[in-house]
Amino acid sequence: MAAYQAGSAAAVEQIYAALSRAVSRYLLAVTRDRTRTADLTQETFLQVHRARHTYDAARPVLPWVLAIARHVHLMDRRRATRRVRAVSLEDEPIDPATVFRDPEVWREVEQALEQVPPASREAWVLHHINGLRFKEIAEILGIGVSVTKLRSSRASARLRRVLVQVQSEG
């Protein structure tokens, strides 16, 4: 990142190669739309480029970039609500091969995730799918670590209840 801040073109490509998959995975989890994800990933890296001078080398890069991705996503949602655009819950799901080995399990989890409040779902996705620590998630979301843990815990509890209900019905 220091080389990128200094203007190295090779560093730009290395950062994109190293982080684009994690950014796309996060954005796909929160948007559930592959087309939007591709656009928002590009917008995220455009914003990373614009904000590169604000990066603090003492901190990890991924949480900083994911915080930018989150803000890009939120700005996109704000624009969408101003246009009064309907968002379908049937948008393409996350590729199960990137998260779970069994696609059937992922389908059940994805359906259950739709019943989790967005704030809790976001914390859960960042922790359980993106593998971030709660401290990193707290920085990205701009909330305390304890709130982050609480949101993720509540999402897990809700997921368990929904999945148990699905299994008992099936």
The tens place of each residue's pLDDT in the chain, 170 residues long, gives: 889 888 888 998 999 999 999 999 999 999 888 889 999 999 999 999 999 999 998 999 999 999 999 999 998 887 766 543 333 334 444 444 454 566 676 777 788 888 889 889 889 988 888 888 899 898 888 899 999 999 999 998 888 888 888 777 75
Where residue 155 sits, what CATH number does that domain have? 1.10.10.10
Within 8 A by CB and 6+ apart from 4, the residues are 11, 12, 15, 52
Half-sphere exposure of 55 (CA within 13 A, CB side): 24
- Residue ending a domain, choose from 73, 92, 111: 92
Residue type at position 160: R
Range of the domain at 113: 94-170
What's the CA gap between 113 and 132, in Å, rounded? 18
For residue 165, what are its two tokens?
A: 């209900």
Residues 138 and 117 in one domain: yes
